[in-house]
Amino acid sequence: MTAIEKNKSLNIKEAKAEEQIPLNENEVLQTLIIEDVKYKTRLTKKFINRKVYVPKNPKKVFSFIPGTIKKIYVSKGKKVKAGDKLIDLEAMKMVNTIFVEENSTIADIFVKEGEMVHKNHLLVEYK
């Protein structure tokens, strides 16, 4: 088999799922069609119930570490420019300033000064 044939056979971008047959409560047998060849594979319950990837929404700002909101520089409805200060987040005695990434308008603010937030907590939403 040449290198080109190997690369072609490993290309599974066009794989189609044909059917799923439950084997037991923890596994499912699935038939995949890759380049007109049928393959059977076992899918575990953990794989089937995995968390689905959701692309990042650029209109929402989340905290990247747990900490305390020290200062909020914007208000609801305010127009902001790229590079403006948005929020000061204190974590482990260090103040992290979150800046605006692009020109927009503040739709809503979900935190207050002095509030403790966890990682991935929604802070601000843009219009």
- Residue 122 neighbours by CB distance under 10 Å: 15
Domains, the chain, in order of start with CATH, read 3-48 (no CATH), 60-126 (2.40.50.100)
Say what the pTM is.
0.61
Per-residue pLDDT of the chain (127 residues; tens, 9 = 90+): 444 444 444 444 444 555 666 666 667 777 878 888 888 887 777 877 888 888 888 899 999 999 999 999 999 999 999 999 999 999 999 999 999 999 999 999 999 999 999 999 999 999 8
Element (H, E) at 4: helix 3-10
